[in-house]
Amino acid sequence: MSYLEFLNTYGEALIGGSLMTVAQFVLAALVAVAAALVAGLMKLAPVKSVRGIATVYIELFRGTSLLVQLYWVFFALPLFGVSLHKFTAGFLTVGLCFGAYGAELVRGAVASVPKGQWEAALALNLSPARRMWRIILPQAFIIMLPPWGNLMVEILKGTALVALISVADLMFEARQINSATYLSAQAFGTALILYYIFARFTVTPLMRWLERTMARRIGKG
Amino acid sequence: MLEWKWDFTWTILPRLIEATGKTVLAAGGGFAVALVLGLVLTLAQRTRFRPLTVITRELVELVRSTPLLLQVFFVYYVGPQFGLRLSPWTAGLIAIGLHYAAYLSEVYRGGIESVPKGQWEAAKAINLSVIKTYRRIILPQALPPALAGVGNYLVGILKDTPMLSVIGVAELMHTANAIGAENYRYLEPYTIVGLVFLALSLPLAWLFRRFETTVRRKLGLIK
Amino acid sequence: MTEDMTQYPLRLEGDDAPMIRFQNVTKKYGDLTVLDRLDLDVAAGEMVTIIGPSGSGKTTVLRMLMTLEQIDAGVIYVDGEPLTHMEKGGRLVRGDAQHLRRMRGKIGMCFQHFNLFPHMTALGNCMEGPVQVLGLSKREAEERALELLDMVGMAEKRDEHPSRLSGGQQQRVAIARALAMRPQVMLFDEVTSALDPEVISEVTSVIRALADQHQLTMLMVTHQMGFAKEISDRVVFFYDGSIEEQGTPDKLFDSPDKERTQQFLSAVLEAT
C-alpha cells in the first residue's frame, strides 16, 4: 500500500480524529484559562483559607500525572455518583490539570506588576476590585502571554491522553489504524505531522499574534 | 456508591509498592538519557555546520510540539515494521528520554546564553581551546541558572512515566490497570497511584531545590 | 503596644485648624524607627517642602498621608478629620477600608517614577479615576482631563501611551491625572529625581503654576534646593526620623540655626 493509498483509505478517519482533537483542545484551553485565573487570584487573596484551597488544587493537579487524573475521573469518580461522559471527562480533566500550571503563571504575572502601579491605583482611590481588574490584570496579561503560548502547546499535547479513555481523537484514530493494518510508520507518522502542524503553524502563531496585538494596544508595538 | 475497602487496599498494596520501584527506575533511566542527549542536542545546534544546526533545531521543535504518548507508540511500533524489535523498556526509555532531551536542550541553551559575552572573550584572550572554554569557563556558569529548569523536568519525567504503561512497561499505572481489571475495582488502585505520585513528586521537587542551593554554594555564587 | 487614644481630639475645629496635622506619629520598619513622634502642621493653601538626607523619613511622611504605609502610633488629621483613624463610640479607632477610601479622596499624589498606567493613553490615565471612582460620565471626565492636560502642556499627546513619552512628559501627565481627582492636598514625592536634567524645568514650572494659581495645600519632597527655596512657604529639614529645623526658605537656606542643617546644605550645594 503506497502512502497515497493509505491516505485515501484512512484520511477520513484521521480528519475526524483531528476535528475531535481540535474540539478537545479548545474546550480544555477554556477550562484551563478559567481555572488558572480563579486559582491564581485566590492564591493572592489576603484570607488564608482561600489561599489554602487554591494551593490544594494546584499541588494536587501538579503533583500527580494527567493520565492518573484522567483514569481517576473516568473510572473512580462514578463511584462517588459523578458520572461524566468520556468527552466531558476528557477536556475537563486536561483543562483542570493545565489550569493548575496556569495558576502559577497568573500569580507570578500579577506579582511582577511593579509595586508603583498598585500605589498609583490606590492614590487614585480605585476600589480593590477595580485596581485588580482595570490596572493590574491588563498588565499581568501582557506579562504572562508568552509562557501561556508554551502552555497552550502543552494543553494540545495533553489532549492526546483522552484517547486512553476512548475519546475518538487523532491519537485514538492513529492507534485504531495501526492495530488494523500494522502500518505503524504511516499511522503514527501522519499523526505526528498533523499534531506538529497544529502546534507549530496554528497554536503558536495565534499566540504570537495575540502577543503582538496586545503589545500594540498598550503602545509598546 | 462510594465505599473504600481497606482489606482490598492491604492486599494490593505490596504489588503497587513493587511497581513504584519500577516507576522510579523508569524516571531515573529516562532522566539519565535526557540529560546526556539534551546536551548533545544543544551543542549540535551551536556548531558552525549549518545543516546539522537546522536539522537539530527542527527535530527539537518536532519533539516538543507533539504528544509524548504518540512518540511512545511511534518508537515501539515502527521498529518492528523495519525488522527492529525493541523491548517495551528500551522503547519507553528512548521515547521519554528523547522527549525530555528536547526540553532540556532548551534549558541548557538558556543557561549558556545567560553567560555574558565577555566571558567568551576573556577565555579567548587567555587562548583557551573551544572545548576547554566550554568545560572550564562556560558550562560551570551556565549550570546554576539552568538547574531550576532541569529540576522541573525531572519531576515532569516522573509524572509522565504512566504513559509507558500503554506499551506494557509494568510500572505503577500498568499495575493499577491490571489490578482494576482483575477485581473490577478501580477506586483503590487509582487513588493509591495518585497518592504515590504526590508522595514522590513533592519531596523530589523540594530535594532538587536543596540540591540547587548546594551547587550554587559550592560554586561560590551564594554564601 | 496599645496607645491611649483619649489624648487625641476626635476632630480639629476652629478657623485656625490646619489642613494636615501629624500628631505624635511614629513609624517603624521592624526594629528600625523611621519616624519618631512626629508633630507637623500644614495650613490650608500652604506649600511645604521637606528636605533632608536619604533615610531621614521624608518620603515616609508623604506615603503615610497617602495611606500607602500604616502608622504605628499617633494620629494624622486631614481637613479636620482623622485620616488614619475614625470615631467609634466617642473614641478613635483604626480607620476601616471605607473610611480610608473616603479620606483618600481629599489627597492626590505624584510619584518619583510617575507610575502611569502603561496600558492606557495619557487621556485614559487622566480619565480613569474620575470615571471609575468619582462616577463622572465619559464626556465630563474627558472634558476635565483635556483641560488639565492642556494646563500641563500635554494636550497634543493625549492619545499617546506612556512608553512613547519622555520622563518629563510622563510626569506632567501624572500631575494632571492626580489633579483630575480634585484633591485638596497634593503630594509630590521626588517628582524630578528620575528625570534628565534638561527636562526638570518643564515639571517644576507646572508645579510653580499650581502654587501660584490654586488654593491647593501642597507637600513636596525634593532634592532641588533652588526650586524649594523659590517656591515654598516653609521648608522642613528632616534628620534621622524627626524634624531638625524648619522655617521660611530664606531663613533656612541662608542662615540655618542648627549645625546639621548647615552641614547638609553645604554638602548638597557642593555636589551641584
What was the pLDDT predicted at A51?
96
Judge if C208 and C254 occupy the same domain: yes
User: Has residue B72 been placed in a domain?
Assistant: yes
Q: What ipTM was predicted for this assembly?
A: 0.92
- Residue A221: per-residue pLDDT: 46
Interface test mutation site (partner B, options A66, A71, A176, max chain B beta carbons within 10 A) = A71
Average pLDDT, chain C: 92
Cα separations in angstroms, A164 against A74, A158, B70, B112, B163? 10, 11, 11, 39, 10
Boundary residue ending a domain (C182, C198, C213): C182
Q: Judge whether A219 and C170 are in contact, CB under 8 Å.
A: no
Task: Examine the domain organization and report whether C21 and C98 are in the same domain.
Answer: yes
pLDDT value at residue A217? 78
Return the CATH number at C205. 3.40.50.300
Residues C159 and C226 grouped into a single domain: no
Judged by a CB distance cut-off of 8 A, whether residue C85 touches chain A is: no
Tally of CA atoms within 13 A in the half-sphere of A190 that contains its CB: 24
Nearest alpha-carbon partner for B9 in B205, B185, B153, B131: B185
Contacts of B102 in chain A (CB under 8 A): none
Residues of B in contact with A81 (CB under 8 A): 1-2
Mean pLDDT for B31-39 is 96
Closest CA to A185 of C230, C244, C38, B76: B76
In this structure, what is the dihedral angle of CA atoms C14, C18, C19, C25, given to the nearest 10 degrees? -120
Q: Do A71 and B2 touch (CB under 8 A)?
A: no
**Same domain for C192 and C253?**
yes
**Is B41 inside a domain boundary?**
yes
Hey, what amino acid is at C59?
T
Residue B182, pLDDT > 50, answer yes
Query: Which of C162, C182, C202 corresponds to the end of one domain?
Result: C182
Q: Is C101 in the same domain as C198?
A: yes
- Residue C196 belongs to domain spanning: 17-106+185-272
Q: How many domains does chain B have?
A: 1
| CATH code, B105 | 1.10.3720.10
Model confidence over C164-189: pLDDT tens digits?
Answer: 999 999 999 999 999 999 999 999 99
What is the pLDDT confidence band of residue C148, given thresholds at 50, 70 and 90?
very high
Question: Do residue C160 and residue C190 come from a single domain?
Answer: no
**Are A196 and B163 an interchain contact pair (Cβ–Cβ within 8 Å)?**
no
Same domain, C72 and C190: yes
Q: Which residue has the higher pLDDT, A21 or B48?
A: A21
Any domain includes C2: no
- Indicate left, alpha or beta for B97 from its phi (over 0: left) and psi (-120 to 50: alpha): alpha
Q: Is the pLDDT of residue B58 over 80?
A: yes
- Min Cα distance A133 → chain C (Å) is 11
Which set of grid coordinates corresponds to residue A127?
A: 476600589
With beta carbons under 8 A apart, name residues in chain A contacting B61.
Answer: 196, 200
Look up residue A103 and give its three cell numbers. Answer: 495558576
By residue range, what is the domain housing residue B137? 6-218
Per-residue pLDDT reduced to its tens digit, B64-90: 999 999 999 999 999 888 888 999 999
Identity of the amino acid at C12? L
A113 touches chain C (CB under 8 A): no
pLDDT at residue number B2: 62
pLDDT digits (tens, 9 = 90+) for C186-220: 999 999 999 998 999 999 999 999 988 778 999 99
Q: How far is A122 from chain B (nearest CA, A)?
A: 36
CA–CA dist C12, C220 (Å, integer)? 23
- Domain boundary (C139, C166, C182) is at C182
- pLDDT of C38-53, one tens digit each? 999 999 999 999 999 9
Cα A198 to Cα A20, B5, B23, B66, C129: the distances in Å are 13, 45, 31, 9, 44
Question: Does residue C217 belong to any structural domain of this protein?
Answer: yes
What's the confidence (pLDDT) of residue C140?
Answer: 96
**pLDDT for residue B33:** 97
Which residues of B fall below an 8 Å CB-CB distance to A?
1-3, 61-62, 64-71, 73-74, 77-78, 80-82, 159-163, 165-166, 173, 176-177, 180, 186-187, 190-191, 193-194, 197-198, 201-202
B6-30: average pLDDT: 94
Grid coordinates given for B188:
483503590
CA distance C172 to B33: 59
Q: Which CATH superfamily is domain A3-217 in?
A: MetI-like (1.10.3720.10)
